[in-house]
Structure 1
Amino acid sequence: MVASTPNPTYRDVLRRDGSIAWYTAMTLVRTPVATAPLALVFLGHSTESFSAGGVLAAAHAIGEAAGAPVMGRRFDKKPFLGQLRLALAVEAVAFAGIAVLAGHVPFLILALLALTAGGVAAGVPGGMRAQLSGTTPEPLRPAALSLESALNQAVWASGPVLASLLSTQVSPRIALLVMTIASAAPLAFAARIPHTRTGGQGGGAAPASTLTVVRLAWPTVVLATASMFLVGAMDVVLPPRLEETGHPLALTGVVTGAFALASIVAGLAYGRRSWPGTTAAQTLVLLPAMTAALAVSAATGQLWGIFGAFLLGGLFYSPLMIIRNLGLQHRLPQNVWATGFSLLYAAGGLGYGAAALLTAALIQATTPTVTIVICTAVTTLIGVIAGLGERRR
C-alpha cells in the first residue's frame, strides 16, 4: 500500500532559503500601493483641495495601469535584481519628491511625480510573483501563492488605515515619507530574495511578445478584470447603500474590514490542501458564488445581512485570486510569467476604475440597490465568458 503524500504546509514554504526575505520584501512593496490613494488625497487637501488630491490619486492609478505591462515585460527580459532596484529607487525618489515639493511647485509636477511612482513600480509585484513561482517547487506553489494572497489582503486592509492615521494625526507629508521608506527598504536585502536571472528561466528562446501573451492568457486576464470590477463597484456603492438603509457611514470600514479578514482566512484555507476540479471549473463555481453573496446586500436592509454578504463574498474572493495566478502559470511559458502577472495587475486596475466610474453614474441615475444588482449581473456575465474560454482552451 502506497502512503499518500502529505499536503504542503506554510511552514514548508517559509523554511525554504530566502522565503522570509521574499515575503518581507513583498509586504514592503505592496505598502506604498495600498496607502497611496488616501495619502495622496489627504496631501492634496492639505495643500490645495480634496479634488486636487483625487487627481494625484488618479494619476498614480493611471501610471500603474499603463506601466504594468511595460515594466512587467522588462522583468522577463532583463536581470531581475537590476530591474527591482531601479524601480524601487525611482518610486522612492518620486514619493519623497511629492512630500517635499507639495505646495512649493506647480501642481502638474506633483501629478507627474505621482504618475511616475505608479508607473515605474507597476511591474514589481508581477516580477516578484514570477520569481516566487519560478523558484518554488510545483507541489509548494499553491501554498506559497495562498500565503502571498493572504499577505496582500492584510496589506490592503491595513494600508488605508495607516494612511488615514498618519495623515490626520501627524501630517500627509509624513505618510508620503513612510511610503518612501517602504519603497526603499527592500534595496537593503534585494540580493537575498530567491531569484533566477530574469523572471523566466534565464536562457533559451526570447520571451513572446506582449500581444502573444494576451492571446494566450485572455480568459485569465478577463477574469481578473471581472473580479476587480465587482470589488470596485462594491467599494463605491457600500456607503450610499448604508445611508439608504439608515445605517451610520462609519460602519463602511467595519464591513470592508470583514471582507478583507474573510479573504485572508479563505486564502490560507485554500492553500492548505488540494481541491477538486480544474482552475477553470473552480472559477465557474466561485465567481458566481461571490457575486450572489454580494448581491444579498441589495436584498436586505438589515445590517447583519449586509455584513454577512460581504463576509461571505470575501470567503470566495481570495481563492479566486489564487486560482487566477495558478491558471496563468499553466497557460504561459515561464519566461513570460512576469509579463502575464503584470497584465493581471493592469487588468484588475482597469476593472476597478471602470467599476468606480459606472457605479458613480448608476447611483446618480437609479438607487444603490439597483446599482448592486446591475454590477453583480455584469460581473457574472463577464466571469462566465472568461471561465468558459479558459475551460475550452
Structure 2
Amino acid sequence: MSYREVMTKEVVRWGVVAVGARMPVAAAPLAVVFLVRERPGGYALGAVLAAVYVIGEIIGAPLLGVRLRAERARPQLAVGLAVGALGFAALGALPAAHPVLLGLFAFVAGAAPAAATGGLRALLNSVVPEKAVAQALSVESMLTFGIWAVAPAAVTGLALGVSPALPPLFAAALMASAVAGLWLLPVGWDSDADDRGGEPMTRILVRAWPIYVTGAASLSMLALAELVLPALLEQRGIGVGWAGPLLAGLAVGSAVGSFVYGLRSWPGRLRTQSMVLMFAVSGCLALVALLPSLGWLFAALGVAGVLQAGAMLTRNLSLREALPPSALAAGYSVMYAAVGAGYAASGSLAGALLSVASPSTAILAGVGLSVVLTVAGLLGEVRPAPTTAPVMSSGGGAASASADAVGVRADDIAERTAIRGGGDTERGL
C-alpha cells in the first residue's frame, strides 16, 4: 500500500480537523508563559500554569477516553473540544485574573479535549483500509511533528508581535473550528462491544500496560533532548542560540522517519522493531551527552529523530493489535496520558539532576531511566500467557479445550503475549 492510496478526501478532511484539535495543544505551554510573563513572578507563574495544563491532559485523557463509545464518538469529542475551546478563550480574555482562576482555566483547557487524540486516531483507522493503517499512522505522525515544529514559532510571533492574549484566543478559535469539522468525519467507527467477551474495559486496558510503559519511555527521551540541550550547549562552550536549530533538526528527522517507516513493511515482529529502535535512540542520546562538536550534535539528534518516529509508530501499531476494536480509542487515550507522564517524569529528573550534576550526566541518567522503562515494558510483553483450567460440564465430566484438537501446539501458545489473554500482538506489518 502506497501513500498515494492513503491520501483520500476522508483522510484530508481528518487532517484538517486534527490540525485544529492539536495545534492548541502544542501551543499551550508556551502560550501561558507569554500570557503572564509581565506580571510579578510571571515566569514562575507561567511554568506553574503550563504544568497544570499538562496535568489536566494526563488526568483527562484516560478518564474521558474510557468513556468514548464508537457509535457516538463524534458528539462526545465535540463536547470535549468545545469545553477546551472555552478554557483557552477564558485564558485569553482574562489574562489579569487571579492565578488560581487562571490555573482552573488551564486545567480545563488541558483536560476537556484530552480524549480527542485517541478518538481522532480511531476515526483515522476507520477511514482507511486495514492494510493501509501503517501508512495512515505515519501520515498522522508527520502531521503531528509538523504541528509541533510550527506552534512555538507561531506563539512567539503572535505574543511578541501583537498581544500576549492572542495565542490562547487563536487556540480557542482553532479548537472551535475542529468542533465544526467533526461533522465532515464519520460519526464513529465500526465496533462490537461483544469483542471484549463481557470483560470490563478497565481490565482490558490495564493488561496492555507494557505498551504504555515503552510508550512513556519513548517520549521521556524526547524530553531530555528538549529540556537539557541549552545547558549542555553552555557546558560545551557553544552558543545557546543553537538549541533552536538543533531541535528543528530533531523534528525534521522525526518527520523523515515517519515517512520512511510507512514506505514499506519491515522485518521482524513489532516488539522486536520497537526494542531495536528504542535502544538505538538511547545510544544516539548517549552520544549527544558525550560528543563535543556542534556538527556531531546535529548528526546524533537528526538520527535520533528518525529512529524515534519509528519507535512511536511501532508502539501505536502494537496497541492496535493488542486491544479489541471497541477498546482502541480508550487505549490510545491512555497511551497519550502515559507518554505525557513519561515526558514529565524525565523532565523532572533532568531538572533535579542539573542542580547537582553536569548536563551531560543528567542526559545519561535520563537515558538510563528510559532504558529501564523499555526493558520493563518489553519483559511485560513477552510474559507467558496463563494456562486455562479444565471446565466441568453439567454432567460432571471434565471438558477441557485441547490445543492439539485445533492443531495448535502448546508451546506455540506459551510464546504468545498475555496482553490480550493469549492473542499475538506482534505480527509483522
Q: Please classify the TM superposition score into its range, dividing by the shorter chain length.
A: over 0.9
Partner in structure 2 of residue 180 of structure 1:
172
Alpha-carbon distance in structure 2 between the residues aligned to 1:52 and 1:63: 16
Q: Does the 8 A contact of 2:32 with 2:46 survive in 1? A: yes
**How many angstroms apart in 1 are the aligned matches of 2:258 and 2:195?**
35
1:330 pairs, out of 315, 321, 326, with 321
* Cα distance, 1:136 vs structure 2: 2.4
Higher relative contact order structure (alpha carbons within 8 Å, sequence separation ≥ 6): 1
Counterpart pick for 1:90 among 83, 99, 107? 83
Q: How does 1:21-170 map to 2 (within 5 A)?
A: 21-48=13-40, 49-76=42-69, 79-103=72-96, 105-170=97-162
Cα separation, partners in 2 of 1:202 and 1:81, compared to 1, 3 Å:
farther
Whether the 8 Å CA contact 1:18–1:194 is kept in 2: the answer is no
Is this contact kept in 2: 1:265–1:315, CA < 8 A? yes
Supply the AA of the counterpart residue of 1:377.
G
Aligned partner letter, 1:344? M
3-state DSSP of counterpart to 1:172: coil
The DSSP-based 3-state class of the residue aligned with 2:37 is helix
Contact preservation (8 Å) 1:44, 1:51: no
Question: For the structure 1 residues 202 and 101, does the alpha-carbon distance in structure 2 shift closer, same or farther, using more than 3 Å as the test?
Answer: farther
How far, CA to CA, are the matches of 1:117 and 1:282 in structure 2? 36
| Counterpart contact for 2:195–2:325, Cα < 8 Å | no
Q: Are residues 194 and 11 of structure 1, via their aligned partners in 2, closer, same or farther at CA, if it must alter by over 3 Å?
A: farther
1:171 to 163, 172, 187: 163
Separation of aligned partners in 2, 1:363 and 1:67: 30
Q: How does 1:1-393 map to 2 (within 5 A)?
A: 8-15=1-8, 17-48=9-40, 49-76=42-69, 79-103=72-96, 105-196=97-188, 201=191, 204=194, 208-392=199-383, 393=417
Letter in 1 for 2:59: A
Partner of 1:3: none
Give the Å deviation of 1:76: 3.1
What TM-score do the two structures reach when normalised by structure 1? Answer: 0.93
* C-alpha distance in structure 2 between counterparts of 1:24 and 1:220, whole Å: 29
How far, CA to CA, are the matches of 1:125 and 1:336 in structure 2? 14
User: In terms of Rg, which structure is larger?
Assistant: 2
Which amino acid letter does the alignment assign opposite residue 279 of structure 1?
Answer: L
Moved more, 159-168 or 277-286: 159-168
In the alignment, the residues of structure 2 paired with residue 356 and residue 390 of structure 1 have an alpha-carbon distance, to the nearest angstrom, of 26
Deviation at 1:154, TM superposition (A): 0.8
- Alignment-mate amino acid for residue 296 of structure 2: G
Taking the aligned partners of 2:71 and 2:129, their CA distance within structure 1 comes to: 23
State the Cα distance separating 1:372 from its structure 2 match: 1.4
- What residue identity is the alignment partner of 2:243? T
Q: 1:19 to 1:240 in 2, by over 3 A?
A: same
Which AA in structure 2 matches 1:191? W
Partners of 1:330 and 1:78 in 2: how far apart? Answer: 21
Q: How large is the Cα RMSD of the aligned pairs?
A: 1.6
Gaps of 5+ in 2: 384-416, 418-429
Tell me the alpha carbon deviations over residues 224-266 of structure 1, each in whole angstroms, 9 at most, x when there is no partner.
1111111112211111000000111111111111000000011
- The 3-state SS of whatever aligns with 2:68 is helix
Write the distance in 2 (CA, Å) between the matches of 1:205 and 1:325.
20
C-alpha distance in 1, partners of 2:199/2:155?
A: 39
Is residue 259–residue 313 contact of structure 1 (8 Å, CA) maintained in 2? Answer: yes
Contact 2:219–2:342 (Cα < 8 Å) also in 1: yes
Opposite residue 212 of structure 1, the aligned amino acid is: R
Judging changes above 3 Å, is the alpha-carbon distance between structure 1 residues 124 and 316 closer, same or farther for their aligned structure 2 residues?
same
Identical pairs, percent: 34
